[in-house]
């Protein structure tokens, strides 16, 4: 009986890590990017932009969440949050994982991020907060936004570095 209780506790922990995955990855990314002012600031801008885009798309598409969803922390949805397309959780975690990997190119941080992203997607599906399509579209949006934000930032930093070097 004790072993079953331990397994249930681990499942609950993984479910909570999945639910809070976006926040965990934001903290992890800021920590990893802290010494690179240009990229950690850009990451926060990309994160806010991604959230804003998610709200706009939800308002336009207005695809409802699955019926009979379970709440992990008494989630209540109002306004645009009533809609599930695209999944903000999936969009956020995949944006974070993509941005950090493009900056650091670290396989270790990529695996850690993908593990947390996987827990997040699984939790949203398990608790019937999103359909598979909503999660996939959220992931695609997140990857695309991070990719665009990274390359705009990289180009901006490189151009300003060139200008500063030429002035010397």
Question: What pLDDT does residue 168 have?
Answer: 44
Question: What pLDDT does residue 65 have?
Answer: 84
Question: What pLDDT does residue 51 have?
Answer: 94
Question: What pLDDT does residue 137 have?
Answer: 95
Q: How many C-beta atoms surround the C-beta of residue 160 within 10 A?
A: 11
For residue 102, pLDDT beyond 80 = yes
Q: If pLDDT is split at 50, 70 and 90, which confidence band does 160 have?
A: confident
- Output the six-digit token pair for 92: 């956020």
Average confidence score pLDDT of the chain: 87
Q: If pLDDT is split at 50, 70 and 90, which confidence band does 76 have?
A: confident
> Could you tell me what percent of the chain has a pLDDT over 90?
54
For residue 66, pLDDT beyond 90 = no
Q: If pLDDT is split at 50, 70 and 90, which confidence band does 85 have?
A: confident
For residue 47, pLDDT beyond 80 = yes
Q: What are phi and psi of 93, to 5 degrees?
A: -65, -40
Distance CA 70, CA 155 (A): 44
- 53 and 92 in contact (C-beta within 8 Å)? no
């Amino acid at each position: 009986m004790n072993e079953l209780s331990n397994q249930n506790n681990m499942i609950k922990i993984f479910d909570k890590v999945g639910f809070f995955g976006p926040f965990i990855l934001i903290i992890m990314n800021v920590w990893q990017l802290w010494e690179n002012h240009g990229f950690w600031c850009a990451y926060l801008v990309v994160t806010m932009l991604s959230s804003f885009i998610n709200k706009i798309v939800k308002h336009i598409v207005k695809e409802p969440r699955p019926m009979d969803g379970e709440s992990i922390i008494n989630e209540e949805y109002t306004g645009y949050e009533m809609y599930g397309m695209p999944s903000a959780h999936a969009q956020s975690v995949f944006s974070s994982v993509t941005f950090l990997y493009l900056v650091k190119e670290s396989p270790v941080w990529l695996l850690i991020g993908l593990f947390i992203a996987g827990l997040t997607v699984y939790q949203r599906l398990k608790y019937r907060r999103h359909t598979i399509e909503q999660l996939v579209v959220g992931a695609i949006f997140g990857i695309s936004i991070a990719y665009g934000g990274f390359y705009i930032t990289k180009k901006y930093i490189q151009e300003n570095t060139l200008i500063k070097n030429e002035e010397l």
